[in-house]
Protein backbone atom coordinates (compact mmCIF):
# COMPACT_ATOMS: atom_id res chain seq x y z
CA UNK A 1 0.00 0.00 0.00
CA UNK A 2 1.12 3.54 -0.58
CA UNK A 3 1.81 6.29 1.88
CA UNK A 4 -1.00 8.72 2.54
CA UNK A 5 0.31 12.11 1.49
CA UNK A 6 3.79 10.81 2.27
CA UNK A 7 3.19 10.45 6.01
CA UNK A 8 0.72 7.70 6.96
CA UNK A 9 0.84 4.11 5.80
CA UNK A 10 -2.57 2.73 4.86
CA UNK A 11 -2.59 -0.99 5.54
CA UNK A 12 -5.58 -3.18 4.66
CA UNK A 13 -5.51 -4.89 8.06
CA UNK A 14 -6.31 -1.76 10.07
CA UNK A 15 -7.81 0.80 7.71
CA UNK A 16 -11.14 1.20 6.00
CA UNK A 17 -10.89 2.47 2.44
CA UNK A 18 -13.82 4.69 1.59
CA UNK A 19 -14.17 6.32 -1.86
CA UNK A 20 -14.26 10.09 -1.56
CA UNK A 21 -13.07 13.37 -2.99
CA UNK A 22 -9.95 15.28 -1.96
CA UNK A 23 -12.09 18.04 -0.46
CA UNK A 24 -13.83 15.54 1.85
CA UNK A 25 -10.46 14.25 3.02
CA UNK A 26 -9.47 17.79 3.92
CA UNK A 27 -12.82 18.48 5.58
CA UNK A 28 -12.59 15.54 8.00
CA UNK A 29 -8.90 16.03 8.58
CA UNK A 30 -7.76 12.59 7.50
CA UNK A 31 -5.14 11.61 5.01
CA UNK A 32 -5.82 10.75 1.37
CA UNK A 33 -4.27 7.40 0.43
CA UNK A 34 -2.36 6.83 -2.79
CA UNK A 35 -4.46 4.00 -4.23
CA UNK A 36 -5.93 3.59 -7.70
CA UNK A 37 -9.04 5.39 -6.39
CA UNK A 38 -9.17 8.30 -3.93
CA UNK A 39 -9.86 7.10 -0.39
CA UNK A 40 -9.86 8.19 3.22
CA UNK A 41 -7.99 5.97 5.65
CA UNK A 42 -9.97 5.73 8.86
CA UNK A 43 -8.65 3.87 11.89
CA UNK A 44 -11.28 1.47 13.18
CA UNK A 45 -11.39 -1.58 15.40
CA UNK A 46 -13.64 -4.50 16.14
CA UNK A 47 -15.35 -4.61 19.53
CA UNK A 48 -13.18 -6.07 22.29
CA UNK A 49 -14.43 -8.26 25.11
CA UNK A 50 -14.96 -5.08 27.17
CA UNK A 51 -16.93 -3.53 24.30
CA UNK A 52 -19.09 -6.66 24.02
CA UNK A 53 -19.82 -6.28 27.74
CA UNK A 54 -21.28 -2.85 26.97
CA UNK A 55 -23.37 -4.18 24.09
CA UNK A 56 -24.66 -6.92 26.41
CA UNK A 57 -25.42 -4.40 29.20
CA UNK A 58 -27.36 -2.13 26.82
CA UNK A 59 -29.23 -5.15 25.43
CA UNK A 60 -30.11 -6.29 28.95
CA UNK A 61 -31.32 -2.80 29.91
CA UNK A 62 -33.70 -2.46 26.96
CA UNK A 63 -34.81 -6.11 27.19
CA UNK A 64 -35.95 -5.48 30.78
CA UNK A 65 -37.59 -2.10 30.13
CA UNK A 66 -38.88 -2.32 26.54
CA UNK A 67 -42.32 -0.78 25.98
CA UNK A 68 -43.54 -0.44 22.40
CA UNK A 69 -43.47 3.22 21.31
CA UNK A 70 -42.10 4.33 24.70
CA UNK A 71 -38.81 2.66 25.53
CA UNK A 72 -37.11 1.19 22.46
CA UNK A 73 -33.43 2.14 22.86
CA UNK A 74 -30.99 1.11 25.56
CA UNK A 75 -27.49 2.48 26.11
CA UNK A 76 -24.48 1.48 28.16
CA UNK A 77 -21.30 3.40 28.80
CA UNK A 78 -18.05 2.64 30.52
CA UNK A 79 -16.74 5.59 32.47
CA UNK A 80 -13.02 6.30 32.58
CA UNK A 81 -13.02 4.99 36.17
CA UNK A 82 -14.34 1.63 34.88
CA UNK A 83 -18.02 1.68 35.85
CA UNK A 84 -20.71 0.48 33.45
CA UNK A 85 -23.81 2.68 33.53
CA UNK A 86 -26.98 2.00 31.54
CA UNK A 87 -30.05 3.94 30.49
CA UNK A 88 -33.14 3.60 28.32
CA UNK A 89 -34.76 6.35 26.28
CA UNK A 90 -37.72 8.26 27.63
CA UNK A 91 -40.27 8.97 24.93
CA UNK A 92 -43.14 11.44 25.09
CA UNK A 93 -46.20 12.43 23.10
CA UNK A 94 -44.44 15.72 22.39
CA UNK A 95 -41.31 14.48 20.63
CA UNK A 96 -39.05 17.39 21.49
CA UNK A 97 -39.15 16.51 25.20
CA UNK A 98 -38.09 12.92 24.58
CA UNK A 99 -34.65 11.99 25.97
CA UNK A 100 -32.28 9.53 24.33
CA UNK A 101 -30.84 6.51 26.16
CA UNK A 102 -27.28 7.82 25.82
CA UNK A 103 -28.24 11.06 27.62
CA UNK A 104 -29.92 9.06 30.39
CA UNK A 105 -26.78 6.92 30.85
CA UNK A 106 -24.52 9.99 30.93
CA UNK A 107 -26.85 11.70 33.41
CA UNK A 108 -26.96 8.64 35.66
CA UNK A 109 -23.17 8.33 35.66
CA UNK A 110 -22.75 11.98 36.67
CA UNK A 111 -25.53 11.82 39.27
CA UNK A 112 -24.26 8.64 40.91
CA UNK A 113 -20.49 9.28 41.08
CA UNK A 114 -19.67 12.53 39.31
CA UNK A 115 -18.23 13.21 35.87
CA UNK A 116 -15.35 10.79 35.25
CA UNK A 117 -15.48 10.87 31.46
CA UNK A 118 -16.73 8.41 28.86
CA UNK A 119 -14.36 5.65 27.79
CA UNK A 120 -16.85 3.93 25.44
CA UNK A 121 -20.60 4.17 24.82
CA UNK A 122 -23.10 2.15 22.79
CA UNK A 123 -26.82 2.27 22.01
CA UNK A 124 -29.01 -0.64 20.90
CA UNK A 125 -32.55 -0.64 19.49
CA UNK A 126 -35.26 -3.18 20.27
CA UNK A 127 -37.44 -4.07 17.25
CA UNK A 128 -41.15 -3.33 17.43
CA UNK A 129 -43.59 -6.24 17.76
CA UNK A 130 -43.82 -7.99 14.40
CA UNK A 131 -40.74 -6.19 13.06
CA UNK A 132 -38.10 -8.48 11.59
CA UNK A 133 -34.75 -8.56 13.35
CA UNK A 134 -33.33 -8.58 16.84
CA UNK A 135 -31.89 -6.04 19.25
CA UNK A 136 -29.02 -4.38 17.39
CA UNK A 137 -26.41 -1.66 17.78
CA UNK A 138 -27.49 1.73 16.40
CA UNK A 139 -25.58 4.95 15.80
CA UNK A 140 -26.13 7.87 18.16
CA UNK A 141 -28.32 10.68 16.83
CA UNK A 142 -26.79 14.07 16.12
CA UNK A 143 -27.79 15.51 19.48
CA UNK A 144 -26.23 12.56 21.31
CA UNK A 145 -23.05 12.90 19.25
CA UNK A 146 -22.81 16.51 20.44
CA UNK A 147 -23.51 15.50 24.04
CA UNK A 148 -20.97 12.66 24.05
CA UNK A 149 -18.33 14.96 22.54
CA UNK A 150 -19.11 17.70 25.08
CA UNK A 151 -18.60 15.32 28.00
CA UNK A 152 -15.54 13.52 26.58
CA UNK A 153 -13.94 14.52 23.28
CA UNK A 154 -11.85 11.32 23.40
CA UNK A 155 -14.81 8.94 23.87
CA UNK A 156 -15.11 5.82 21.74
CA UNK A 157 -18.48 4.86 20.27
CA UNK A 158 -19.61 1.40 19.16
CA UNK A 159 -21.57 1.74 15.91
CA UNK A 160 -23.13 -0.62 13.33
CA UNK A 161 -21.03 -1.57 10.31
CA UNK A 162 -23.30 -2.36 7.36
CA UNK A 163 -24.42 -5.81 8.52
CA UNK A 164 -21.00 -6.85 9.84
CA UNK A 165 -19.92 -6.95 13.48
CA UNK A 166 -20.18 -3.52 15.12
CA UNK A 167 -17.06 -1.37 15.02
CA UNK A 168 -15.51 1.09 17.44
CA UNK A 169 -14.81 4.66 16.31
CA UNK A 170 -13.92 7.90 18.05
CA UNK A 171 -16.63 10.47 18.68
CA UNK A 172 -14.56 12.87 16.60
CA UNK A 173 -15.00 10.61 13.57
CA UNK A 174 -18.77 10.80 14.01
CA UNK A 175 -18.71 14.55 14.55
CA UNK A 176 -15.96 16.24 12.54
CA UNK A 177 -15.45 19.99 12.87
CA UNK A 178 -17.35 20.13 16.17
CA UNK A 179 -18.63 23.55 17.16
CA UNK A 180 -16.84 24.96 20.20
CA UNK A 181 -17.70 28.10 22.14
CA UNK A 182 -15.16 30.88 22.31
CA UNK A 183 -11.95 31.33 20.38
CA UNK A 184 -10.35 28.29 18.81
> How are beta strands 118-125 and 156-161 bridged, if at all?
parallel
- The catalytic residues are 102
For residue 109, how far is the Cα from the chain centroid? Answer: 17
Q: How far apart are CA 96 and CA 91, in angstroms?
A: 9
Q: For residues 82 and 87, what is the distance between their CA atoms, to the nearest angstrom?
A: 16
Amino acid sequence: MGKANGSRECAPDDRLRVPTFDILAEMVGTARCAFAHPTICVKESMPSKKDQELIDAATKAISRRYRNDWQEVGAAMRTRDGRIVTGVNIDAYIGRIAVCAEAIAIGRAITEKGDHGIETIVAVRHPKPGEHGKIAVVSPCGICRELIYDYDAKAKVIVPDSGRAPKVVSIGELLPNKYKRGIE
